[in-house]
Amino acid sequence: MKVFVVGLNHKIADVDVREKLAFQGDKLEEGLIRFRELPGIEEAMIISTCNRVELYANIQDTQQASESVKSFLSAFHNINRSSLDNSLYVYDDIHAVRHVFRVAASLDSMVLGEPQILGQLKDAFELALAKKTTGILLNKLMKKAISVAKRVRTETKIAENAVSISFAAVELAKKIFTDLSSRVFMLLGAGEMAELAAKHLIGNGVKEVLVSNRTFDRACDLAKEFHGRPVKFDEFILEMVRTDIMICSTGAPHYILTKSQMQKVMKERKQRQVFIIDISVPRNIDPAINDLENVYLYNVDDLQGVVATNMFERQKEAEKAERIIAEELETFLKWQASLDSVPTIIALREKAEEIRKEELDKLFNKIQDMGEKEKEAIEYMATAIMNKLIHPPTAALKGDVENKEMLVAAIRRLYGINGEKNDE
């Protein structure tokens, strides 16, 4: 009984390869059931996201499972089998458990510390539970992986620093304006990065949104999407008097907001703070504006610098997360090792109980006139003796000892326990 992982992710496979192996829609449920039915697969679970496809299992033989799963993936997705050998990683036992813990804690993600993967892992586990494809090992593994991820979130700051341009914009806005809900935001232009930053700002509390674009119809469409108000492009400077946060991405070949224009705006604003992000390349906002009091201007390079700094901070926190995983890995492996002893412990207790009852029956048949109180006292004593005799071997089997297989074999031979019990 050991954990087994076969899969691929963004590190080793391009998106076109990941798409071919993805389990989408109804294919996920069908694939999960067929995966569980493979020879040598005792428990099964599949996680399929845009950045990874991984199959988790409880197995006995790694080579058999590896061949079986690769053949299954080839047939299920109609992919040449030989092409999979260079695209898949295979982990088993301790390496598989560590990998699952790192995935759950987002240490294996494209964006270190991102929170989405834990939710995706939970969804995959819930489907496996619903389809009854997991059992004692994978159930414990998933519950432990989820608790490991939560511990990493609680005990480190791995998710606290923005590592994308759009999130960095929000992070900076929060440093300037503690409460975003009372701020007026303007989106000037319509670049993909700017729109994403706008969505994050709105998601973080901004309620009043203005949208200005050279094409007014486009401004109207975006304003409708963001529940805001469209502004004609030649009137955006007038609206700057009310605007606290602006993201600019117009693609114009020259400055569309100069220092002198911004001076007039700040005078009418009575010097209230303004946060401006110029994502345009070439820049659309005069850099000299940053010299004005209470005006905070950032360009795309500034944001990338923030992202780089934050990524470095996340890397430092990832080292703490790895130590947490090492601790939890040891705990899980001790629990897993104890599973190998469970059938022997059960068999030992059954053997002892059998002997106890047999000897008591002999005694009570021999002494016919024994009273109930005497019988109860003798039964109590026999049970106490039995428990004390089997306690040392039971404790040894439960303990963290080397060569547990040899210990199991020795106890079975010494106590005359034949056959194997299997009680999860």
Residues forming the active site: 50
- Is residue 299 within 8 Å of 283, Cβ to Cβ? yes
Closest-CA residue to 249 (of 277, 208, 270): 277
Closest-CA residue to 363 (of 389, 382, 390): 382
Closest-CA residue to 156 (of 318, 4, 297): 318
Angle of helix 165-176 relative to helix 300-339, nearest 10 degrees? 110
How far, in Å, CA of 219 to CA of 207, rounded?
17
Closest-CA residue to 306 (of 195, 198, 204, 197): 197
Residue 240, helix vs strand vs coil: coil
- Is residue 40 within 8 Å of 31, Cβ to Cβ? no
Burial of 166 (0-12, 13-18, 19+ CB in 10 A): buried
Q: Tokens 């000299």, residue?
A: 288
Angle of helix 404-414 relative to helix 372-398, nearest 10 degrees? 150
Angle of helix 116-130 relative to helix 93-104, nearest 10 degrees? 120
